[in-house]
Amino acid sequence: MATGGMDEASNMKVILKHYVSGSPQETDMHLTAGTIKLKVPKDSNSIILKNLYLSCDPYMIFKMMKLERQLTDPYVLGSPITGYGVAKVLDSAHPGFAMDDLVWGITGWEEYSLISDPKNFFKIQHTDVPLSYYAGILGMPGITAYIGFYELCAPKKGDYVFVSAACGAVGQLVGQFAKLHGCHVVGSAGSPEKVDILKNKFGFDEAFNYKDEPNFDATLKRHCPEGIDIYFDNVGGKMLDAVLLNLRPHARIAVCGMISQYNREQPDGIQNLSSMVLKEARMQGYLATNYYHLYPKYLEIILPLIKESKVVYVEDVADGLENAPKALVGIFSGRNIGKQVVAVNCL
């Protein structure tokens, strides 16, 4: 159980001050200093982690809220917020983890974390790729893209694929998977810079800035004149409603997220669901955590694609825990370009 050094360390943490409604602000969080013992408690299965990278993900907004119908357990006020992260094991009383192991899983937004039950952590075996990738392409966002596209949408060569929020952590992968599969791919994003990345870095056939488009139905008819076989939905709302008017027969929709709706007091209604019947289409929401048993299969597929540069991944890395609140808030306004990660500690 040696930690190879100090028995106690200072520990900066990101704390949620109060539950939020609407768009989260940096002022909803604050940094506080504390200390942490770097030895695991006796007679426990705990591990002590040195957090290296933290992942900023849209689902975290639900944990920042106190809702009448709670979708997930909210954060505990006064305690560090939590999310996916990449970390190094400093001490372990768990038989599955040893000192110096690298892992990814749900950890605290702090410099060091005591994890009482690490059963849901994944041990990192491949270190010849950037460790930050385990907060993105090799972590939860990566398997989310894989499951939604391949397992739920069952793509066929020649399918017409549309991806919203296509420059984000998940969307950029879905578009590249679709191109590798021989599909025609269109993406939407929120700035000219992101549109350029979609077309010139990720290889999308078409892309548009949704902020410049007053009529999404007309936009989709212009960019997807043949209609849409697969829609990978990251935004919901008016874009989803417009997609429903442009479906091809037997279209498939994977509902990964609805980020355009998360900070609205009154979400947009969907008017065009009758198209699902007329086109014999299928729409399915999903949680990636229910598919983690496929993670080894995903790694076998994605690692060679990364090493052969057949898939690229864009990250937006904020440096230091003090910049974590700004980074998290930014994903809800589209300020990030690519996967938003916070670098906390160096190895």
Tell me if 294 is assigned to some domain: no
| pLDDT tens for the 347 residues of the chain, in order | 334 456 899 999 999 999 998 889 999 999 999 999 999 998 899 999 999 999 999 999 989 988 766 678 899 999 999 999 999 999 999 999 999 999 999 999 999 999 999 999 999 999 999 999 999 999 999 999 999 999 999 999 999 999 999 999 999 999 999 999 999 999 999 999 999 999 999 999 999 999 999 999 999 999 999 999 999 999 999 999 999 999 999 999 999 988 777 766 677 878 999 999 999 999 999 999 999 999 999 999 999 999 999 999 999 999 999 999 999 999 998 899 999 999 998 77
Structural domain span for residue 42:
8-136+313-343
Q: Please indicate, yes or no, whether residues 145 and 283 belong to a single structural domain of this protein.
A: yes
Name the residue among 1, 24, 3 with its Cα closest to residue 14: 24
CATH number at residue 36: 3.90.180.10
The Cα–Cα gap between 154 and 161 comes to 12
Question: Does 53 lie in the same domain as 23?
Answer: yes
Neighbours of 315 (CB within 10 A): 19
- C-alpha torsion sign, points 193, 195, 199, 204: positive
Do residues 153 and 216 both lie within one domain?
A: yes
Same domain, 104 and 162: no
Domain assignment present for 306: no
The answer to whether residues 258 and 144 belong to one domain is yes
Asked if residue 68 and residue 20 are part of one domain, the reply reads yes
Of 334, 254, 329, the closest CA to residue 26 belongs to 329
In which residue are the tokens 């370009």 written? 337
Contacts of 296 by beta carbon, 8 Å cutoff, 6+ apart: none
Helix (H, G, I), strand (E, B) or coil at 201: coil
How open is the CA angle 77-82-84, to the nearest 5 degrees?
170
CATH of the domain at 170: 3.40.50.720
- 298 in a domain, yes or no? no
Residues 144 and 121 grouped into a single domain: no
Same-domain pairing of 129 and 147: no
CA-nearest of 312, 307, 321, 16 to 137 is 312
Instruction: Tell me whether residue 297 is in a domain.
Output: no
How far apart CA 46 and CA 269 sit, in angstroms, is 46
CB count in 10 Å sphere of residue 46: 20
For 179-334, strand residue ranges (E) read 184-189, 206-209, 228-233, 247-255, 282-285, 315-319
User: How many domains would you assign to the chain?
Assistant: 2
